[in-house]
Amino acid sequence: MKKIILITGGQRSGKSTHAEALALSLSDRPIYLATARVWDDEFRERVAMHQARRGPQWTNVEENLQLSRVDVQGRVVLIDCLTLWATNWFFDLNPGDNPSAAERKAHVERTLQALQEEFDRFTAQEATFIFVTNELGMGGVSENAVQRSFTDLLGWFNQYVAARADEVILMVSGLPVVIKGK
């Protein structure tokens, strides 16, 4: 039976730790689907920290764009995270240097549509999906147009995923707050 769980919250709110514990409570051999591209040494350290926390029971898979390429049929899969996955699409579909406001808006719309279509292809499989994402829009409004565009994109994509999720959990200071389901 297919199930979609979305775990959201701010940075360092405990999202990944909670998602990993949930996946292990549902399966002795969950899949960890990493969407990150490692772009600097500091981020490489973060990835290493996450990997060290997981044990040998995990099947680790890396895919940063086409999640539907990964066969998760009948499995529990933790996708960490939608924020990095959306970042990959956002920059791969780059509108070029110094886009106008209209070009930025069209870029966000194209990227959102691509994410939604790939999400739907991926979640068409019969599996338990645990998605981790960030709530970027809870802070102030950025002075940077690219950051504002990405915050809009991720906010709309999070809404799309949450509408399709069976459960939505907001992590606050390491504590899970059930928003939808259970």
Task: Report which of 5, 23, 7 is spatially closest to residue 15, judged by C-alpha positions.
Answer: 7
User: Among the options 3, 50, 54, 105, which is catalytic?
Assistant: 50
Buried b (16+ CB within 10 A) or exposed e, 62-88: ebbeebbebebeebbbbbbbbbbbbbb
By DSSP bridging, strand 3-9 and strand 31-34 are unpaired
107 is annotated as an active-site residue: no
Whether residue 51 contacts residue 34, with contact meaning beta carbons closer than 8 Å, is answered with: no
Backbone angles phi, psi at 65, to 5 degrees: -140, -65
CB of 77 within 8 A of CB of 132?
Answer: no
* Residues labelled catalytic: 50
